[in-house]
Amino acid sequence: MPSSINIPDSPQQRIVIVGGGFGGLNLADKLSKLDYQVVLIDKNNFHQFQPLFYQVAMAGLEPSSILFPLRKVFQKRKNVYIRVTTVTEVDADKKQIKTYLGSLKYDRLILAIGADTNFFGNEQIARKAFPMKTVGEALTLRNQILYDYERAITTADYTERQGLIDIVIVGGGPTGVEVAGALAEMKKYILPKDYTELDCDEIDIYLIQGGDCLLKGMSAEASQKAENFLKELGVIIKLNSRVENFDGTHVYIKGGEKIQANKVIWAAGIRGNQVKGLPETSIVWGGRIAVDREHRVSGLEEVYAVGDIAYMEEPDYPKGHPQVAQVAIQQAKNLATNFKNEQKGRSPILFKYKDLGSMATVGRNRAVVDLPRFKFQGFFAWIVWLFVHLFSLLGMKNRLFVFINWIWNYFTYDQSLRLIIRPQKRGVRKEKVKSSKS
Taking alpha carbons only, the member of 386, 181, 322, 192 closest to residue 265 is: 181
The answer to whether 52 and 389 have CB atoms below 8 angstroms apart is: yes
Which residues touch 80 (CB under 8 Å, ≥6 apart)?
28, 32, 38, 39, 40, 74
E strands present in 196-329: 205-208, 236-238, 243-246, 250-253, 258-260, 263-266, 270-272, 289-290, 303-305, 310-311
Reduce the DSSP state of residue 171 to 3 states and report it: coil
* Cβ neighbours of 378 (radius 10 Å): 15
Which H or E run contains 4?
none
**Which residues on neighbouring strands pair with residue 206, listed in sequence order?**
168, 236
- 178 annotated active-site: yes
Q: Say if residues 304 and 289 touch (Cβ distance below 8 Å).
A: no
Q: Which of 1, 5, 4, 26 is nearest to 81 (CA)?
A: 5
Q: Which amino acid is at 350?
A: L
140-158: b (≥16 Cβ within 10 Å) or e:
bbbbbbbebbeebeebeee
Torsion angle of the four alpha carbons 272, 118, 58, 383, in this order, in degrees rounded to the nearest 10: -60
Element (H, E) at 110: strand 108-111
Contacts of 408 by beta carbon, 8 Å cutoff, 6+ apart: 415
Catalytic residue among 89, 123, 160, 178: 178
Active site members:
178
